[in-house]
Amino acid sequence: MSDFDYDLFVIGGGSGGVRAARVAAETGARVAIAEEYRYGGTCVIRGCVPKKLMVYASRFSDTFHDAAGFGWSAGTPTFDWPTLRGNIHTELDRLEGIYRRNLANASVKVLDGRATLIDGNTVEMDGKQITAGHILVAVGATPFVPDIPGRELAMVSDDMFLMDEMPESIAIIGGGYIACEFAGILNGLGVKVDLIYRSEQILRGFDREVRDHVAQEMQKKGVNIVTDCDVDSIEKTDSGVRLKFVSGETGEYSGVLYATGRVPNTHHLGMEAAGVETGKNGAILVDEWSKTNVDTVYAVGDVTDRVALTPVAIREGQAFAQTVFGDNPTQADYDLIPTAVFTQPEIGTIGISEDEAHNYGEVDIYCTSFRSMAHVIADRDERMLMKLIVSRADDKVLGCHIVGDAAGEMIQLAGVAIKMGATKADFDRTVAVHPTAAEELVTLKSPIR
């Protein structure tokens, strides 16, 4: 038995920290975990889960429209935000309870409160010092709002699940996936949405054809996308807020949401006191084993600013626990990570974009755009996009991009094949499942460029 209170102390009760705590405890390690807000972290409490529930809710406006084409008729539908909000939080309470029970069942000591580092083996909570052989920091990231006049009037993504009422109109500032997802959600729930982005096209970092396609479809649905535009200041008005843009123009809205990125949540966490090195935006610097420059301190998840995805944080937490406590040195695998973005229409993507293809030699681009059966009979002008990027040297599929209904579900399964090294010939000899949208992935016969 060591002289420390615990073998492992985890700061942060999100997906990465919880996985690390449970796996370490299963090896026999004495483990404690501390969370200052709610167990489940960004994904479960104020990110992926409540956001996806709001996505489901917002899609009903399209469903009601489409039903007429299939012979259904009903009265004028109405939406009640307090009902949805209450049901969302009931589900979050249920999920948090599962997280707590799973930790307790694994014999992890579950603590509520803020823990800060004192040194490489010591944390402080509520004025009490606790020692551990190893400390894992898994505190995630927090929304970033630029320092402009009136910034305190802006909402961030965390606030979207707590609103007392749905705004009549909103300006969403940002062009990343969070901004675009909430633009679709609020538009679907009947809010007048202006999506304002300082660059020339939304969804920077994604395949250009995907970006253009999604932007066009969002605009068809009623989202007003304003590019090459930035906010200079925010003022409060009797009915909401007034935005003054850098151009000198103004706009008035019921509310404003800033979705301009997230930064590692290391503020006042004791990094300097413990001698832990941080980098850009306060990200904790780690090696391929998730170890910091302090041998006993590790970090996983969004706080490291590597790949900000919940399943990646879980893989990092598991790899850490197996390495340090399971006598099984393991590194997280960051190659070919499938990703879904719940914009409307939805995006599923894995591998390289066409923009990146010049780094991989000569490639062939297979792409198609079409209306699905459901959209045709519903008389809805929405198109899907399917795209494969194939190496001409060895026929390997280097990238797959899908835009449309169930893109996230499709990319999970396509991701298995591509991760295994599937070639275009492998796709071609797979029998199509008809009638589905996914069959287009195995019937793309000729490259378009």
List residues with catalytic annotation: 434
Cis peptide before 345 (omega within 30 of 0): yes
DSSP letter, residue 171: E
Report d(CA 213, CA 218) in Å as an integer.
9
Q: Which residues contact 297 (CB under 8 A, 6 or more apart)?
A: 117, 120, 134, 135, 136, 137, 274, 276, 291
Strand ranges inside 213-362, DSSP E: 224-226, 231-236, 241-245, 250-253, 255-258, 262-264, 297-299, 339-341, 347-351
Closest residue by Cα to residue 12 from 324, 401, 304: 304
List C-alpha distances in Å: 192 to 174, 175, 181, 196, 253.
16, 17, 15, 13, 9
Site of tokens 């009979």 = 377
How long a stretch of residues is the chain?
449
| Structure tokens belonging to residue 440 | 């287009």
How do 6-11 and 128-137 pair as beta strands? Answer: parallel
Q: Is 1 exposed, middle or buried (0-12, 13-18, 19+ CB in 10 A)?
A: exposed
Residue type at 425 in one-letter notation: A
Residue 96 near residue 58 (C-beta atoms within 8 A): no
- HSE-CB at 124 with a 13 A cutoff on CA atoms is 12
Burial state string for 179-203 with b = 16 or more CB within 10 A and e = fewer than 16: bbbbbbbbbbbebbbbbbbeeebbb
